Each structure stands twice: as C-alpha cells, then as structure tokens.
Amino acid sequence: MDKKSEMEKVAKVFDIYEFRKTAESIRCLSNDLYKNSKKVNFDKTFEQLQETLEEEFISRGTDPSFRRKLGSALISLMNAATKKNLALVKKQVSDFEPSMQRIMNSYMVIGDIVESLTKNTQITNKQKYYGACFTYLLMVEGVFRELAEYILMLDDIRIGHVRKFSDIETLDIYDLAKQIESKSDISILTKGYSNSLRNAIAHADFRFNNATGKMAFKDVYHGKEKLVGDLTLDEFGEYYLKIDDLYTLISSIWMLGWLVNVYHDC
C-alpha cells in the first residue's frame, strides 16, 4: 500500500467538501510521516484532526446549532465504540467500504438532480417542489438507510451487542430509525428522516396548493389517514438538509477511520 497516495485520496475528499483545514492537516500529517520521516504522536494528531473536522463541519451550513449536536453525538458514538473494541471498528470501516461507495454514488446522482432543480429557471415552483419530494425519497432510500445501518453497527460495538451485519440489513428503514431513536444520546441522528413523509411520497399521497405554495402530505396506513402537514418548500427542505448533514458527517468520519487503517497498514 502506498500510504502517502492513500492519504492524499482522503485529503481530496475533504477538498470536495471544502473542509480546507482538515485537508491541509491530513497532507501535513502525510508529509511528516512519509516524506520527512518525523516521529509523530499519531493518536494526539488524530484527536486534533477530529477537532478540526468538527469545527469546520459546524461552521458550514445554515444551522450550526444542529450541526454541533449532530457532530457531538456521532463523534461520541464513534469514540465509545473505538474504546470498546478498536479492532472491530477498524474491521467495520473496511467491511463498510462497498456500502459507502454505493452511498457516495447515490449522493452524486441526487446532487445532480438538486442542482438541476435549483438552477432551472424554466420550471414552476410546483414542478420544483414535486421534484424535491422524489429527491427526498431517493435520499432516504439510497443514503439514509445505509447510514442508519452504519450507526447501528457502531452502537452494537459500543454496547457489546453481538449481531451480524446481515441481521441489521434485514431491518426495514422504519425499524432502523426506531432503534436509533430509542437511544436518547444518538436520536438526533435520525432528525432528517420522517417515516410519514417517506410514506406519503412513496404512495403519492401529496398534493400541491397553488394558492399557498404549500404541499399537503398524507400518510395512509391500513385505511387510516394521517395528515402529516402542509409544508412550504423551505420547511420541507429542512428534512433533506438534515440528512445531507448526516451524510457529510458520517462520510467524513468514515474517511478518518480509513486514515487510521492506512496508518496501521490494514
């Protein structure tokens, strides 16, 4: 393994996220280790790297308070799992690579759709909103679901729960979210997911009101109708943005985990 090249791949991911300080710190660490052959306290440097990432993550976006709580919850979960069983966390980082690649591919496609919707001046607000609804469904099914599996794997490790990943994969998205929501210290990680919104969109139980510019969402289950709410596009967009934040944070922390594997040549 060419460790310097692998670390550069990690740094380039943070370039894409525009986390410039994090990317620079990784390149400095790589140079110290593999170019200048300096003695480095990796654990201390890695802790500082985590802090840099957390600061940059919080400072970006429209809701720093939410991002701070999100970052605190996920980093605490990761640290607790690592303290409980470092070897298993490292194995998880490697085993989850195919899933992370699928998530990244889905995210790229979704990003293209979002960019098309936001930059197209020819479509109406109604068309834009309907497009946003199906984009949220893609985000939930293609990104959030697999992120939730990763979160539960970390939680299993920190509490010493023996469960195969294949068992977690059999859970539907509702059960995945419910298991995470049941744990008060990490329940914030599900804030972007609304099962009722997901159901309303998946079953096309939503209608646009031209007069108000709002979308009415209904969740119909076994003949029982539940009015989810009348939401403006901005209000609806908050759900998408919270999953977007979760993806950015988890993929960033996963990349740092990969960095540890590179350092230990796993």
Is residue 198 within 8 Å of residue 173, measured between CB atoms?
A: yes
Answer whether residue 213 is part of any domain.
yes
Tens-digit pLDDT string for the chain (266 aa) = 688 888 998 999 999 889 999 999 999 999 988 888 888 888 899 889 989 998 999 988 778 999 999 999 998 999 899 899 988 888 888 888 888 888 988 888 998 998 888 888 899 999 999 999 999 999 999 899 999 999 999 999 999 987 877 888 899 999 999 999 999 999 999 999 999 999 999 999 999 999 999 999 999 876 787 878 899 999 999 999 999 999 999 999 888 888 888 887 74
Q: Count up the domains in the chain and report the number.
A: 1
Answer whether residue 132 is part of any domain.
yes
Length of the chain: 266
pTM metric for this prediction: 0.88
Answer whether residue 70 is part of any domain.
no
Q: Write down the pLDDT at residue 258.
A: 84
Q: Write down the pLDDT at residue 266.
A: 46
Answer whether residue 221 is part of any domain.
yes
Phi, psi of 164, deg, nearest 5: -70, 150
Answer whether residue 42 is part of any domain.
no
Question: How many Cβ atoms are within 10 Å of 1's Cβ, its own excluded?
Answer: 9
User: What three-state secondary structure class fits 151?
Assistant: helix
Answer whether residue 198 is part of any domain.
yes
Q: 142 lies in which domain range?
A: 98-252
Rounded Cα distance between 208 and 216, Å, is 6
Q: Write down the pLDDT at residue 149.
A: 92
Distances in Å between the Cα of 140 and the Cα atoms of 108, 136, 212, 239 are: 14, 6, 26, 10
Token couple for 245: 């934040």
Rounded Cα distance between 219 and 201, Å, is 9
Answer whether residue 77 is part of any domain.
no
Answer whether residue 64 is part of any domain.
no
